[in-house]
Amino acid sequence: MINFKLMKRLFPVLFLIATSISAQSDIEKIKSYVSNKKYDWLKEFMEFIAIPNINPDSINLHQNAYFIQKLLNDRGVHTELLKPDMKGVAPVVYGEILTPGATKTIAFYAHYDGQPVNPAQWLSGLSPFKPQLATDRMDRGGKFISLPENKNDLNDDWRLYGRSSADDKAGVYAIIAGYEALKESGCTAGINIKFFFEGQEEMGSTNLPDIMIKYKEKLNTDLWLIADGPRHQSGRKQVVFGVRGDVNLGINVFGAKRPLHSGNYGNWAPNPAMRLAQLLASMKDKNGNVTIKNFYTDVVPLTAAELKALNEVPEVEELLKKELGINKPDGGGKKYLELLSLPTLNINGFQSANVGAQAANIIPTVASAVLDLRLVKGNNVDKQMKKVVDHIKMQGYYVTDKEPTDDERAKYPLIAQVRKIGNGYNAQRTPMNLPIAQEVIKAIQRTTPDKMVLLPSLGGSLPLYMFETILKAQPITLTMVNYDNNQHAENENLHLKFLWEAIESVAAVMKFY
Amino acid sequence: MINFKLMKRLFPVLFLIATSISAQSDIEKIKSYVSNKKYDWLKEFMEFIAIPNINPDSINLHQNAYFIQKLLNDRGVHTELLKPDMKGVAPVVYGEILTPGATKTIAFYAHYDGQPVNPAQWLSGLSPFKPQLATDRMDRGGKFISLPENKNDLNDDWRLYGRSSADDKAGVYAIIAGYEALKESGCTAGINIKFFFEGQEEMGSTNLPDIMIKYKEKLNTDLWLIADGPRHQSGRKQVVFGVRGDVNLGINVFGAKRPLHSGNYGNWAPNPAMRLAQLLASMKDKNGNVTIKNFYTDVVPLTAAELKALNEVPEVEELLKKELGINKPDGGGKKYLELLSLPTLNINGFQSANVGAQAANIIPTVASAVLDLRLVKGNNVDKQMKKVVDHIKMQGYYVTDKEPTDDERAKYPLIAQVRKIGNGYNAQRTPMNLPIAQEVIKAIQRTTPDKMVLLPSLGGSLPLYMFETILKAQPITLTMVNYDNNQHAENENLHLKFLWEAIESVAAVMKFY
């Protein structure tokens, strides 16, 4: 084996040219391999999508973990399941590959659990766990299609529908297939590789801190590469240096103890749907700015380097407005990326009694909303949640975390039940000039002629603060899937091309030089 | 047969005493008959409840009509189905009994259709169309119980759960059993009787005007007695001289065309749930007063006689507040009955995406609400609805009755889809001093020692304006069921005692002297 380190020290310029040529030829080999394997991979990936993956369905989540173990074992990676002390929890699937001579270790993270689904909301013919190919996005005239007999009939622009086809089984599969592509195309890894696949991300990675503490030695690395989230809307490949934090809040507001006839009690009995509407309306102005006291005060401003990076990101607002049917975005004129750098208060959903054919002329007993608070650097989960609770109290509400008792009902005119859902977590940002991250970017840039997008922070959330606080590690995120994937919602889908290109990116990072 | 009319003219005082004694003995006979028939009637009534009755389920609604025909035929009443010109519509079941010597005709109205149901919202063990007895209200410790083997084990305080057990199959059955009780207890009717059972009331009696016009001659009467709605909360028997009108409105407010990840788009993409909350909140103040311009302006004030009647109604607010778990009612201090004399704006329900276990971190695409507007004398359906639409426009919304097109989305920042649901109808009030109505009240008062409650208007709605405008007839309403029946909602139930007492009331009215 050639001693690359020695060569590099002796003939720096020559080495640079040689590695650059060799890198490009490696990329060609990887791309060629990917191109030949798409059909087999798609079949295997569809089997993966077919396994339900919604917490707390422990049995199916374990089936996902076993499936991932098999994927890795088939490619010669020895695996084990990392489990927290709590029983029945979806385990982490872990594997590692040591590369002779490598001095750096990168861990590749993705999660195999998915967001909750309401199958009734999916398009007719689609079902979250029956992966279905379509010739295009269904709302753009796509037609359902079966996996073709002939592998050459496969089209990169087809969509694969199913829960987690994008978020984040695509991430899991890209990492595993990326390793295969590197190995089988005759290239050698330039780093030690750790595989780390989590099954609790969509519920706030509740037991991940336990696992990190328990397996701290094993999880020691130079960098964590998080494979999750959509590529930039311009279509360019993207690396992100931070994420927003996240916490969910459930709010219930109460009316009479039993549903009342809206005629016989209308004007007299308080309507909880109206009360909740008034309460929610008090939280934002017409431009979508949060009006809760001190909501924006702890925010750490972006650094000069981060602001500069933001300015280099291609503009996509007009594209998004057209594509999404939005005339006027929220934010009172602030730019999209600027808005993603601020904390949010989002209504994930609300409900009181029924609408549509089941609506009846009643005064409902309860109105419910689920809020999603995204946090940025400087925000703290509990502090941010307290701001919301304090606001609700300021509106005259008695706040409890339980169903109100008869005594409480008799005592207080306005009662809100407020519960934190899951643990929530803070935001995280890795410095954009971190040397190993720069190397990763260079590797990925080799796979694409388009200038990559580098973002200080994703609008979305991942529990990356844990990497910093527990593992003292630096995470960066490689976003991979199409931005129009309906992530977290009904009709989630993967634009196939994005999976193939993600596999190339992962292989290039593992090649690393 | 004694000529009562001649006797009445010749010996007025003697006649009065004689009829009073005879009337009381007739009431005893009727009560005794009712007491013996409860068990058989309950069995038959439960068969009736088991037939689903939700519009537009035409097949089952026809099954209900056929069942009612059989009930009447079994009691010697010839029946026919009155149908509008529109096909497939639930028919009116009509029957009549001519009484030799009678000079007055009273039509008895009830409806056999029920409000829409969401079976999932019913208590475990209950199902809308599986009638179920319980020893008490389930939320007060009631236990499920089967129909006992022995008829003497039946208890008047039991509850019968099922859709329309109260609203308004109880009305249909009380009229038919009331006629049976009169006839079989050896009393003779004092009036001509018309039976009129409708199957579209809960959808706004869409085709009732057609039927009234088509069968105008047949439907000529001196009075319409509407058997529907709950008795006064004090438990007293009650006759009501008017009803509020009613119209439903569906409102949809839109966000992006596809659900968006709340992290990747949060703060930028407008949230339709927040917009709908803001829109709804703009319609009422904190006391529940409607803030829509001119909302209360057309209201015809109550007459002196109506105000006097209101003052004689027993106070129930403290009872209701305790029973319903309400600390402070809406209305800013106005009295319950005063509030029922004003138009309402009620949120029947709202929904956007999901809450509970299905809630996901997304920005929803649409938020929907169904409003119920109750109208009082002076209000007009279309005018009242226009006030709401104008208000929505004043909030900056472009209003359409269709799904917004891409062009509309590109053009307008705020879009609301507003649809009138059904036709809606105006309020109606019969003068409280109408002589034949006074006679009816006198007859019912004989069945109970407690002073009856006489109300100028029910808070609820029935399409009684049609009786006035098409048939030039005067309707009054005999309310019959327990006030805690969960009418229109899940877990609808009938307190059995109220059915038996309603049967007595009907028989007394048919006796009429």
Q: What residues contact residue B60 under an 8 Å CB cut-off, 6+ apart?
A: B51, B52, B53, B54
Cβ–Cβ below 8 Å for A281 and B277: yes
Q: What is the ipTM of this complex?
A: 0.80
Nearest CB among A266, A322, A411 relative to B374 is that of: A266
Is residue A8 over pLDDT 70?
Answer: no
Q: For residue B344, what are the β-bridge partners?
A: B374
> How many residue contacts between A and B have a Cβ separation below 8 Å?
361
Please tell me whether residue A230 adopts helix, strand or coil conformation.
Answer: strand
What's the mean pLDDT in B209-237? 94
Cβ–Cβ below 8 Å for A359 and B347: no
To the nearest whole Å, the CA of B190 is away from the closest chain A CA by 33
Q: Is residue B284 within 8 Å of B291, Cβ to Cβ?
A: yes
Cβ–Cβ below 8 Å for A350 and B355: yes
Cβ–Cβ below 8 Å for B330 and A271: yes
**How many helices and strands, by DSSP H and E, does chain B display?**
14, 21
DSSP characters for B307-346? HHHHHHSPP-HHHHHHHHT-SS-SSTT--HHHHHTS-EEE
- Residues A417-455 have pLDDT tens digits of 999 998 899 999 999 999 999 999 999 999 999 999 999
Q: SS3 for A368-389, per residue?
A: EEEEEEEECCCCCHHHHHHHHH
Nearest CA in chain B to A485: B260
Share of chain B above pLDDT 90, in %: 86
Q: Is residue B4 within 8 Å of B16, Cβ to Cβ?
A: no
Q: What residues contact residue B334 under an 8 Å CB cut-off, 6+ apart?
A: none
Is residue B17 over pLDDT 90?
Answer: no
Residue B175 to residue B504: CA distance in whole angstroms:
9
Residue A93 to residue A209: CA distance in whole angstroms:
15
Considering just the CA atoms, what is the radius of gyration of chain A in Å?
Answer: 25
Provide the terminal-to-terminal Cα distance of chain A, rounded to the nearest Å.
Answer: 16
Distance (Å) of CA A499 to CA A42, A52, A157, A484, B109: 9, 20, 11, 14, 67
Nearest CA in chain A to B278: A281
How many angstroms from the chain centroid is the CA of residue B288?
23
pLDDT level of residue A1 (50, 70, 90 thresholds):
very low
Please tell me whether residue A350 adopts helix, strand or coil conformation.
Answer: strand
Both tokens assigned to A395:
């509106």
Q: Is residue A433 within 8 Å of A305, Cβ to Cβ?
A: yes
Residue A244 to residue A434: CA distance in whole angstroms:
19
DSSP characters for B413-456? S-EEEEEEEEEEE--EE--TT-HHHHHHHHHHHTT-SSPPEEES
Helix (H) or strand (E) holding B279: helix B272-281
Q: Is residue A488 within 8 Å of A459, Cβ to Cβ?
A: no
Cβ–Cβ below 8 Å for A370 and B364: no
- Residues A157-196 have pLDDT tens digits of 999 999 999 999 999 999 999 999 999 999 999 999 999 9
Residue A264 to residue B230: CA distance in whole angstroms:
9
To the nearest whole Å, the CA of B339 is away from the closest chain A CA by 6
What's the mean pLDDT in A212-239? 95
Chain A residues whose CB is inside 8 A of the B250 CB are: 355, 359
- Residues B69-103 have pLDDT tens digits of 999 999 999 999 999 988 889 999 999 999 999 99
Interface probe for B, chosen from A264, A365, A428, A464 (most Cβ of B below 10 Å), is A264
Burial class of A123 by CB neighbour count within 10 A (0 to 12, 13 to 18, 19+): middle
Nearest CA in chain A to B485: A260
Q: What residues contact residue A512 under an 8 Å CB cut-off, 6+ apart?
A: A104, A106, A189, A190, A191, A439, A440, A443
Cβ–Cβ below 8 Å for A488 and B362: yes
Predicted local confidence at residue A20, as pLDDT: 66
Beta pairing class for A398-400 and A415-425: parallel
Chain B residues whose CB is inside 8 A of the A363 CB are: 346
Is residue B233 over pLDDT 90?
Answer: no
- Residues B95-125 have pLDDT tens digits of 999 999 999 999 999 999 999 999 999 999 9
DSSP secondary structure letter of residue A122: S
DSSP characters for A422-478? EEEE--EE--TT-HHHHHHHHHHHTT-SSPPEEES--SSB--THHHHHTT---EEEE
Nearest CA in chain A to B203: A360
Alpha helices per DSSP H over A50-157: 58-74
- Residues A353-411 have pLDDT tens digits of 999 888 889 999 999 999 999 999 999 999 999 999 999 999 999 999 999 999 999 99
Chain B residues whose CB is inside 8 A of the A118 CB are: 354, 358
Please tell me whether residue A411 adopts helix, strand or coil conformation.
Answer: helix
Higher pLDDT among residues A22 and B322, named by residue: B322
Residue A243 to residue B213: CA distance in whole angstroms:
69
Cβ–Cβ below 8 Å for B256 and A326: yes
Average pLDDT, chain B: 94
Nearest CB among B346, B356, B410 relative to A271 is that of: B346
Is residue A3 over pLDDT 60?
Answer: no
Average pLDDT, chain A: 94
Residue B417 to residue B405: CA distance in whole angstroms:
11
Q: For residue B82, what are the β-bridge partners?
A: B92
Residue A314 to residue A235: CA distance in whole angstroms:
10
Cβ–Cβ below 8 Å for B117 and A336: no
Chain A residues whose CB is inside 8 A of the B460 CB are: 261, 263-264
Q: Is residue A367 within 8 Å of A391, Cβ to Cβ?
A: no
DSSP secondary structure letter of residue A91: P
Burial class of B306 by CB neighbour count within 10 A (0 to 12, 13 to 18, 19+): buried
Q: What residues contact residue A327 under an 8 Å CB cut-off, 6+ apart?
A: A321, B409, B410, B411, B412, B413
Residue B435 to residue B18: CA distance in whole angstroms:
21
pLDDT level of residue B1 (50, 70, 90 thresholds):
very low
What's the mean pLDDT in B243-260? 95
* pTM of the model as a whole: 0.79
Helix (H) or strand (E) holding A107: strand A105-111
